[in-house]
C-alpha cells in the first residue's frame, strides 16, 4: 500500500473536485480517476468526490466519444455552481482558450480553491496575475500539462533544478510541427505531411496555432517564467512557423548533416534573457536531432547539473491526462497532509535581449545566376554586413522548376559562423537588391 493510499483510507472528509470543461481531455481525466479508484480498491473514491462538471451544453456526445459517461446530475452550465460551492476544494480547468478560462481560473483562486490547469495560452498571457492570486489565497496553481505533454518539465524547473542557474533551454515543444518536419525529412512535401497529421488527429482543422509557432511561443513564455522569473509578452518573442519551409530546405540541410526542427530557445546571459521559436538546423547526431514524430524534448543547461535531456510524448489525451492527474494527486496529497502550497515564483519584467542581437550560425539557401563572379559578389555583400562564411555548396539547377525565368541558375547553400540576427537580416536585404540573386529561399538559424 502506498503512503497516499494510507492517507486516503484514513481521511475524515472527502475532497471535492470540480471541472471546468469535460471535452476530449476532461472526459479522459474523469475516466482515469474512476479507473484509479477501482484499481485502488475504492480508496481514492473514499476521499475524493467529483462535485460539478461545467460544460457548454448538456449534450454528452463529446464525453461519449471519450468512452466515459459523466453522471447527468454532475453537469452544469453555470460556473457559479462551482465558484460558490464550499465543498469544492480543487478545480481542474480543461476548457482551453483565453476567455472565459482566465476569468474562471482567477475567480476560483480568489475563492480559495486550488487550481490544476493545462491552459498554456492563459498562463503565458496572465501568469503573473494568476501566480499573485494563488499566493494571496495560499492555494495551489498547478500546470504541469501546459508544457511538454507527458514530460515532467514544469516539476523539473520548480523542484529538481531549483538550485541551478539555468543558462539555456533548447526544446521541441510542439508535437504537430515535429511530426510534419519528420515526414518532410522522409520525403513528403509540407502539404502532404500536414494532411497526414490531420488524418491522424495530430493537427487541428485550423492548424495555425501549431504551424505558425504560436503554441510553442506560449510554452516558451511559461518556461521563461519558471527558469528566469521573467514575465515576457508573447508578442515580443522572436518567432516563425514552418509554413514557408519547402522540400529543398530539408534536402539541403540533410546533405549538410542536419535536420530542421522547430526549436524553442531560451538563454540567460549577462542579465539579459532571449527567447525565440524558429525553424532551426539541428545536427542529425544530436539528441534533439533524433526526436521524431509527435515526441517532445527539452534540454536544460544548469550551472550545477550541466546538461539534462527530457524526452517523451508531447501530445494527445493520454499524455495530457497523465500530467493533469499527477498535479491533481499532488494537491490531494498536500491537502491530506495539511501542507501549505510552496510559494510560486512571482514573475517580473526583465531586460529582454533585442532580437537583432541574438547570435547563432545561419543557413542560407539562395537561387542565383549561374555565372562566374556571383559567389564573389555574394561574399562581398555578406562581408559588408560583418557575416563570415563557414561553408558553401553550389548546385547547377538549370532546367529545374524555380521562381526565376532565367535559364542558367544555381542553388547556393551557405552556412555562416556565429553572427547576430540583425546582421544576417541586413545581409538578406542587401542580397535582395542584387540582380545576381534570383530568389532567397530560406534563412534559418543553426543550433550550437
Residue 219 bears catalytic tag: yes
How far CA 446 is from CA of 249, 295, 415, in Å, comes to 13, 21, 9
301 by Cβ neighbours in 10 Å (0-12 / 13-18 / 19+) ranks as middle
Of 219, 307, 353, 395, the catalytic one is 219
For residue 443 the three cell numbers come to 534563412
Say how far apart CA 200 and CA 217 lie, in whole Å: 24
Say how far apart CA 65 and CA 306 lie, in whole Å: 45
Say how far apart CA 121 and CA 114 lie, in whole Å: 19
**How many other CB atoms are found less than 10 A from the CB of residue 97?**
11
Say how far apart CA 415 and CA 257 lie, in whole Å: 12
Q: What positions carry a catalytic annotation? A: 219
Amino acid at each position: 500500500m502506498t503512503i497516499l493510499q494510507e492517507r486516503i483510507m484514513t481521511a475524515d472528509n472527502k475532497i471535492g473536485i470540480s471541472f471546468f470543461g469535460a471535452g476530449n481531455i476532461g472526459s479522459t481525466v474523469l475516466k482515469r480517476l474512476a479507473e484509479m479508484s477501482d484499481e485502488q480498491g475504492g480508496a481514492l473514491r473514499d476521499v475524493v468526490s467529483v462535485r460539478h462538471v461545467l460544460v457548454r451544453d448538456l449534450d454528452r456526445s463529446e464525453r461519449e466519444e471519450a468512452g466515459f459517461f459523466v453522471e447527468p446530475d454532475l453537469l452544469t452550465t453555470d460556473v457559479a455552481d462551482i465558484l460558490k460551492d464550499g465543498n469544492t476544494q480543487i478545480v481542474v480547468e480543461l476548457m482551453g482558450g483565453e476567455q472565459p478560462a482566465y476569468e474562471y481560473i482567477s475567480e476560483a483562486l480568489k475563492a480559495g480553491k486550488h487550481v490544476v490547469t493545462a491552459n498554456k495560452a492563459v498562463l503565458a498571457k496572465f501568469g503573473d496575475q494568476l501566480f499573485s492570486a494563488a499566493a494571496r489565497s495560499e492555494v495551489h496553481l498547478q500546470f504541469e500539462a501546459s508544457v511538454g505533454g507527458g514530460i515532467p518539465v514544469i516539476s523539473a524547473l520548480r523542484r529538481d533544478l531549483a538550485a541551478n542557474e539555468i543558462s539555456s533551454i533548447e526544446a521541441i515543444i510542439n508535437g504537430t510541427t515535429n511530426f510534419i518536419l519528420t515526414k518532410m525529412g522522409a520525403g513528403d512535401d509540407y502539404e502532404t505531411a500536414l494532411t497526414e497529421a490531420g488524418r491522424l488527429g495530430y493537427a487541428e482543422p485550423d492548424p495555425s496555432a501549431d504551424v505558425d509557432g504560436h503554441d510553442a511561443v506560449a510554452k516558451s513564455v511559461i518556461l521563461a517564467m519558471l527558469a528566469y522569473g521573467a514575465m515576457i509578452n508573447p508578442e515580443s518573442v522572436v518567432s516563425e512557423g514552418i509554413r514557408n519551409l519547402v522540400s529543398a530546405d530539408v534536402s539541403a540541410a540533410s546533405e549538410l548533416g542536419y535536420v530542421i526542427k522547430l526549436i524553442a530557445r531560451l538563454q540567460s546571459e549577462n542579465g539579459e534573457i532571449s527567447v525565440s521559436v524558429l525553424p532551426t538546423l539541428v545536427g542529425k547526431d544530436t539528441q534533439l536531432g533524433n526526436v521524431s514524430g509527435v515526441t517532445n524534448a527539452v534540454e536544460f543547461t544548469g550551472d550545477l547539473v550541466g546538461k539534462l535531456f527530457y524526452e517523451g510524448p508531447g501530445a494527445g489525451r493520454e499524455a495530457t491526462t497523465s500530467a493533469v492527474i499527477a498535479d491533481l494527486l499532488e494537491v490531494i496529497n498536500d491537502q491530506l497532509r495539511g501542507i501549505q502550497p510552496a510559494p510560486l515564483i512571482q514573475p517580473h519584467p526583465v531586460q529582454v535581449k533585442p532580437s537583432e542581437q541574438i547570435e547563432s550560425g545561419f543557413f542560407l539557401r539562395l537561387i542565383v545566376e549561374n555565372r562566374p563572379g556571383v559567389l564573389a559578389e555574394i561574399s562581398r555583400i555578406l562581408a559588408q554586413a560583418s557575416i563570415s562564411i563557414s561553408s558553401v555548396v553550389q548546385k547547377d539547377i538549370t532546367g529545374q522548376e524555380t521562381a526565376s525565368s532565367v535559364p542558367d541558375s544555381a542553388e547556393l547553400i551557405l552556412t555562416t559562423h556565429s553572427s547576430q540576427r540583425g546582421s544576417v537580416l541586413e545581409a538578406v536585404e542587401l542580397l535582395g537588391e542584387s540582380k545576381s540573386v534570383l530568389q532567397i529561399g530560406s534563412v534559418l538559424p543553426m543550433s550550437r
